Structure 1
Amino acid sequence: MLEALSQAVAAQLDNQVFTGGLALGAFGVAGAAALRLLPSLLRFIVEAWFITTLTVDSRSPLFESLVAWFAAHPYTARCRRLTAARVPQGEAEALRLSPGQGSHFLYEGGMLLWVERSVGVGNAGMSSSGRQPVETITLRALSRNRAMLTNLLRTADRQFGGRDPDCIAVHMVESYGEWSGRTTIRRRPLSSVFLADGVGEALLEDARTFLAGEAWYSARGIPWRRGYLLYGPPGTGKTSLIRALASELDLDLSIVNLASDRLDDQQLCALLGTAPARSVLLFEDIDAVFRDRDAETAGRGITFSGLLNAIDGVMSQEGHLLVMTTNHLDRLDPALIRPGRIDRRQEIGLATGEQIARMFQAFYPDRGGLAGAFVAAVGGRALAPAVLQGHFLQHRSDPDEAVRTAARLTARPR
Structure 2
Amino acid sequence: MKKKLFQNPPLFLITLFLTGILLGGAALKIPAATVTPISWQDAFFTAVSAMTVTGLAVVDTGTVYTMLGQTIIMILIQVGGLGIMTFAVIVFLMLGRKIGFKERLIIQQALNQNAVGGIIRLAIQLMIYSILIELFAVMLLSTVWVPEMGWKDGLFFSLFHAVSAFNNAGFGLLSDSLVSYVGNPMVNLVISALFIFGGIGFTVLVDLFRSSSIRRWSLHTKLMVSGTLVINTFAMIYIFFNEFANPATLGSLELDEKIWAAYFQAVSPRTAGFNSIDIAAMDDSSLLFIIILMFIGAGSASTGGGIKLTTFIVILLATVAFFRRNTEIHMFDREIRQEIIFKSLAIAMSSVLFIIAALSIMTHTEDGADFLPIVFETVSAFGTVGLSMGLTPELSDMGKYVIMTVMFIGKIGPLTLFFSIAKPDQRKIKYPKADVLAG
What's the TM-score once normalised by structure 1's chain length? 0.24
Q: Which has the higher strand share?
A: 1
Q: Which has the higher helix share?
A: 2
Larger Rg computed on CA atoms? 1
